[in-house]
Amino acid sequence: MSAMSETLLELREISCARSDGSLIFSDATFDVKEGDVLVLRGKSGAGKSTLLKCIAHLNVYKGEVLYRGRTPKAIGVPLFRTRVLYVPQRPSLLPGTPKDFFNTISSFSARDPKGSRLSKKGEQTPAPDLNQAVEVGRSFGLDDELWDREWSSLSGGESQRMVLAVAIGLDAAEVLLLDEPTSALDPQSSNSVETYLTSELKSPDSTLKAIVWITHSEEQGRRVGTRFVEITPDGIREEPNVPEV
Ligand SMILES: Nc1ncnc2c1ncn2[C@@H]1O[C@H](COP(=O)(O)OP(=O)(O)OP(=O)(O)O)[C@@H](O)[C@H]1O
């Protein structure tokens, strides 16, 4: 293995405009390295969700995003999106069941147009396993039967945990882009999500290597974060690491 803290993402002068041409934010330039939990903060409407969607190539933007030194287009956008996975805050508009959703995304992850360049040397990328996602769901307190329910029939907190269980169970993402992942959860469920994600990140066998995490909770930010980036109208700045109290 090469040295620790490999660079996974490089953002270079990302800016994003509204349809009227006014800028939502500009000059987002930072790297995401292995082991980072980069907490993204800012007022409501500052552009946090928009920035995550730009990183995932789900929004039109100016500037450049590189994943392991390559552009999303060079990798193939559907595959790139499984490696750098945006996890929405509200999945309620999805059609079908969580199981359907898992299978649809699995098919993107299996479709690897550039062959083995992204997988570990000599290894075939294994097909995602629904059982693994169901396992993760159990650790978040989700009953197995929920996988066959329509998204629209799940509670806000159930669907929020379900989307996370899918994202982790796919076992394809090296970087998760989490958009207020526990906003609808009670403290206990929220804690199980935090614990699961941070221990996954520390496990050497895990595919997951870094997280960009939007939260409005200072406390949660302090519990999970290793780096802190704030979006303000004046620009995007990284804050010095606040020492543990
Ligand atoms: N599709 C869109 N069309 C027009 N404006 C948009 C669109 N998406 C986002 N915006 C605007 O871009 C700005 C940033 O929105 P965004 O959702 O990224 O903010 P946020 O920081 O994530 O906010 P919150 O904390 O409330 O979730 C807002 O002014 C929003 O109204």
Residues 6 or more apart in contact with residue 161 via CB below 8 angstroms: 137, 140, 141, 142, 185, 189, 193
Is the CB–ligand 1 distance for residue 22 below 6 Å?
Answer: no
- Position with higher pLDDT, 4 vs 142: 142
pLDDT at 159: 92
What band does 212 get if pLDDT is binned at 50, 70 and 90? very high
Whether residue 39 contacts residue 215, with contact meaning beta carbons closer than 8 Å, is answered with: yes
**SS3 at position 55:** helix
ipTM rounded to 2 decimals: 0.93
| pTM for the model | 0.90
pLDDT surpasses 60 at 196: yes
Q: Write down all domains in the chain, each with its CATH number in brackets.
A: 7-114+127-234 (3.40.50.300)
Round to whole Å and give the CA distance between 179 and 90: 9
What distance in angstroms lies between residue 49's CA and the mean position of ligand 1's atoms? 7
Round to whole Å and give the CA distance between 128 and 112: 13
Angle formed at CA 76 by CA 74 and CA 82, multiple of 5 degrees: 125
| DSSP letter (8 states) at residue 112 | -
Per-residue pLDDT tens over the stretch 59-105: 999 999 999 999 999 999 989 999 999 998 877 578 899 999 999 88
pLDDT at 122: 46
Round to whole Å and give the CA distance between 241 and 244: 9
pLDDT at 2: 47
Burial class of residue 207, CB neighbours in 10 A (0-12, 13-18, 19+): middle
51 Cα nearest atom in ligand 1 = 18
Per-residue pLDDT tens over the stretch 98-125: 999 999 888 776 655 544 344 444 445 5
Element (H, E) at 31: strand 23-33
Is the CB–ligand 1 distance for residue 45 below 6 Å?
Answer: yes
Q: Which residue's alpha carbon is nearest to atom 26 within ligand 1?
A: 44
**Across the chain, what does the average pLDDT equal?**
89
